[in-house]
Chains A and B, each alone.
Chain A
Amino acid sequence: MAASVASRPTQQLRPVKFKWWKIILWLTLIITTLISLWPMYWLFVTSFTPTREIIKTPPDLLPFNANLDNFQRLFSQARDYWSWAFNSVVITLTITLFHVFFDTLAGYAFAKKKFPGRTIFFWLILSTIMIPPHVTLVPLYVVVQTFNLRDSLWSVIMPGWAYVFGIFLMRQFIQTIPTEIEEAGRIDGCSEPGIFWYIILPLSKPAVGALAIFTFVRFWNDYLWPSMVLIKSPSFTLPVGVANLQTEFSTDYGLIFSGASLAALPMIIFFLMFQRYFLEGVRMGAIKG
């Protein structure tokens, strides 16, 4: 990155005076990092500490009494835990795959093709992006109640498909792909779906990656709507289940935290693996049009 280039002359030119700045700078960064990571650390430490060791003063700041009791209790008492995880995976993957494919398709059409109604469609989408999702809560809830769709994963999945952010992201990105490439494909006799599949989709990989991560994180962590339509324990998702652990096992902090830490773990691993794409995705989200 260019920033490293910029820092070189300063390091050579500035004498001792600069050191103070550096100490303050590093202290600030290290303290904020500690504050930022402390809750996560505390989550994992608590989840490995037996409940009777958790409720004492002073608390163990390091996991001195670590064992797996909490997890054993979690699996024997919160029997649906694995089905929550399964539901979370099914819901999130179904929504993400839909967006990755169909948002790219729609984004391609909006970016490169002229057809009657294009502007109207696009403005319709654009005008709803400012509307908070809470506006649609009542109508969707009425539909779920009327047709008895409570506890059906579809009642979480299908509204998730209507999340339009990805269409913008993909349109914005695909606009930057030179049209000559598609033209070349067309001249070589490639069909329209072929152009999409063999040319547009591979060239949109960075944006598709960002979109996939964005969607995945958003719906994996979603709570409000799932908590309204998933009523029975076996159909919960992980966030709904974890919130429920708190009401069901009110003071068994060990059990609650083992459930919470296990629910947090996949996203943390996912983040550490694809960290670069996450941050790139956040940046790309900013240049939406």
Chain B
Amino acid sequence: MARAELKEARAQNFGVGQRLARFIRKYGWSYAFVLPSMFVFTIFTLIPVLWAFLISFQDFRLRRESTWVGFQNYIDAFTSQNGIFAEAIKNTVYYTVITVTVNIFVALIIASLIQPLNKYAQTFFRAAYYLPAVTSAVIIAVIWRWMFNTQWGFLNYLLSLIGAPPVRWLSDPDIALNSVILSTVLTVPATGIVLFSAAMGSIPKDYYEAAELEGAGPIRKWWSITLPLIKATSLYVVVLYTIASFEVFEKVYVMVPSGVGNSTQTIVTQIYQKVFNPSLSQFGVASAQAIILFLIIASISVVQFRFFRTDVEY
């Protein structure tokens, strides 16, 4: 019997210690490499997520016994405070539908417009559009709150130039949410532009050349080549923007801190208040609402993936 085989046989027969040693020699470094990340992931994401599910079925109390209440928190989520959460969902959906539609459209148009420019112009415009996106949402909201000021705000100044009466942008309950939407819509969707540009840049040039030989004009080329070939990116951008706007918080919370009645409540401002505000503090209900937010986002993403599913490869 050859020595190597003998060694092998021995290793197989010998005790747990030796097998462990072999296991560690083989996989030890791999585990060491993933350990720190897996550790913080388990402690600060995995366990909290599972725990949040449990809390959503409990009447959860700090420093006191919690009791199981079944689906009561999910019912309370909608019925407590005269159904403010249902209102918040409605507002969030309204916000999302408008901002995502406009943002995607604008991003697509601008990305298409800067595509034929030379490298320097492209870089310049992308940077100019992206600059506000690196600024904290809190700061952007502070600026917009000032521009929306009824007495001295920039927007009412613009209106006064054309002789229009001042608008109570953030204090009129019928307008406040629309003002927040306006501020989002007027912020150029930089991430979308960068992603669309990258996708458009990677379309092979021969497609366009072939189309030109067939006599296609710029719009025809855009419609029949560019749009179909950036479908996968469009999906990603739509999902990205939809999720982000369902989670809208800073903007609303900083622009209208106390809210204008129920009209500026969104899903996350509701969760925030239920966790944070000592007089409202209902951890169970807050967890239930967070999980409802998750379910909404997850189902919308699934629908969007179905809708945009693409087989195009290039």
Which A residues are closer than 8 A to B by beta carbons?
1-7, 10, 21, 25, 28-29, 32-33, 35-37, 39-40, 42-43, 46, 54-59, 102-103, 105-106, 108-110, 113-116, 118, 121, 124-125, 128, 130-132, 134-142, 145-146, 158-159, 161-162, 164, 167, 192-193, 196, 217, 220-221, 223-224, 228, 238-240, 242-243, 246-247, 253, 256-257, 260, 263-264, 267-268, 270-272, 275-276, 278-279, 282-283, 286
Contact = CB atoms under 8 A, between A and B. Distances in A.
A189 B106 CA distance: 55
Given A39-B147, A136-B49, A193-B29, A239 B136 contact: yes
A126 B115 CA distance: 34
7 contacts: A33-B188, A43-B139, A128-B49, A142-B62, A164-B41, A246-B145, A275-B130
A100 to B, nearest CB: 12
Given A39-B143, A128-B46, A264-B136, A57 B117 contact: no
A115 B36 CA distance: 16
B7 interface: no
Contacts of A28: 109-110, 113
Contact of B29 (A138, A192, A267): A192
Interface string B1-43: 0000000000000000000000000010111011011101101
B137 interface: yes
Contacts, number: 281
B194 interface: yes
Interface stretch (B76-84, B88-96, B152-160): B152-160
Interface of B: 27, 29-31, 33-34, 36-38, 40-41, 43-49, 51-52, 55, 60, 62-63, 106, 109-110, 113-119, 122-123, 125-132, 134-140, 142-147, 151-152, 154, 157, 160, 186-188, 190-191, 194-195, 198, 201, 205, 208, 218, 233, 236, 243, 246-247, 249-250, 254, 257, 268, 271-272, 275-276, 283, 286-287, 290-291, 293-294, 297-298, 301
Nearest to A140: B48
B247 A267 contact: no
Contacts of B249: 223-224
Nearest to A265: B135
Given A40-B135, A137-B275, 14 more contacts: A4-B118, A6-B208, A7-B116, A105-B33, A106-B36, A136-B44, A137-B271, A138-B55, A141-B275, A142-B60, A158-B44, A243-B142, A246-B145, A279-B130
